[in-house]
Amino acid sequence: MRYRHPDRDQIRIDGVLSALGHPVRLAAVRVLDGGGERNCGSVLAELDINAKSTMTHHWRVLREGGVIFQEPSGRENLVTLRRDDLDARYPGLLDAILAGARTDTSAI
């Protein structure tokens, strides 16, 4: 199975903001901002989320919004934050959102 990802020039601000507007998705992006490729299960474990089916929806929203790159690898999926694409498209946006999330005590 191959997932569809928008090209850099197809990433739209409304899709990015919508994807990052949910606390679970924002928390997942904060984990991924540590860098590198992660398997979905390790992100779920770090977030202490047990509902894999719910996270499938969240991964799809992040992927289609252009926030993450998701690739099947055996029985798992590997995810990577598309920081370079987001920074090129909307300089400073991701940093501002993540900084705001660090100071928001209501986030996950």
- Every domain of the chain and the residues it spans: 11-102
The architecture (CATH level 2) of 11-102 comes to: Orthogonal Bundle (1.10)
Q: Could you tell me if 65 and 86 are in contact, meaning their C-beta atoms sit under 8 angstroms apart? A: no
Task: Give the pLDDT score at 106.
Answer: 53
pLDDT tens-digit profile of 51-73?
777 888 999 999 999 999 999 99
Residues 6 or more apart in contact with residue 57 via CB below 8 angstroms = none
DSSP state of 68: E
Residue 78 β-bridge partners: 39, 71
C-alpha–C-alpha distance, residues 9 and 100, integer Å: 26
| SS3 category, 4 | coil
Higher pLDDT, 54 or 40: 40
pTM of the model: 0.89
Residues comprising the chain, all counted: 108
